[in-house]
Amino acid sequence: MALNDQEPPVYLAAGIVQQLAGRFDAALATFARAYALNPDYHLAYNSAAFTYEKMGQLEKAQATYELAIQALFRELSLQADAPDAPEVQEADPFGELWIEYTRQANQRFFKTVMQDGKKMLQVDTTYFSYLPRLFSVLISSPHYPLYLRNRAKVLNGLGRSEEAASLEGEAAHFE
């Protein structure tokens, strides 16, 4: 780490070693350094969530798995915006959650406006043509169903089985 202290994967690897050695607090601090360097480094959030799970802190694990999914979608959005993004797959989008994560990761498509004294959400029409591009990137990533299943496992442990079943259902569509 002294040779390369600006690369999140270095901190991820060190954190995993600390986690395996049972040094959970040190691992969490190391993972935090990784996502401080890159807030979209979803692998560090996932590893931190797993560490919380091992510590028996299921609420923190669940919240951190959610951060992993959000970071993943911010990264996937960048990939979908790239000129060399994969071509749109010939498949109908499925599931529901991915669209909500897409919306959260791409606030540029939305703005709140006042209309007749009420707040209204205005959607840029290009958002609807963007969804298939992001979907193409999403189905080529193995992380989304894994993170959903990780989060579902923790939610089951917290007694939130209905929410967990929803996540499992979404994950099944992507595998």
> What is the Cα–Cα distance from 154 to 43, expressed in whole angstroms?
17
Element (H, E) at 111: strand 110-115
Whether the CB-CB separation of 38 and 45 falls below 8 Å is answered with: no
Element (H, E) at 119: strand 118-123
- The number of angstroms, rounded, from the C-alpha of 107 to the middle of its chain's C-alpha atoms is 16
Q: Give the pLDDT confidence score for residue 82 in this predicted structure.
A: 86
Q: Give the pLDDT confidence score for residue 84 in this predicted structure.
A: 83
Whether the CB-CB separation of 154 and 102 falls below 8 Å is answered with: no
Q: Give the pLDDT confidence score for residue 92 in this predicted structure.
A: 63
CATH, range 8-173: 1.25.40.10
Query: Which among 154, 139, 142 has a CA at the least distance from the CA of 102?
Result: 139
Helices (H), the chain: 8-20, 24-37, 42-54, 58-81, 97-105, 126-139, 143-157, 161-173
pTM score of the predicted model: 0.85
Amino acid at 52: Y
Question: What count of residues does the chain have?
Answer: 175
Q: Give the pLDDT confidence score for residue 91 in this predicted structure.
A: 62
Q: Give the pLDDT confidence score for residue 53 in this predicted structure.
A: 97
With a cut of 50, list the residues of the chain below it in pLDDT: none
Which residue's structure tokens are 């601090």? Answer: 29
Q: Give the pLDDT confidence score for residue 90 in this predicted structure.
A: 64
> What is the Cα–Cα distance from 38 to 78, expressed in whole angstroms?
13
| Domain coordinates in residue numbering, the chain | 8-173
Residue 72: φ, ψ to 5°: -60, -45
Q: Give the pLDDT confidence score for residue 1 in this predicted structure.
A: 66
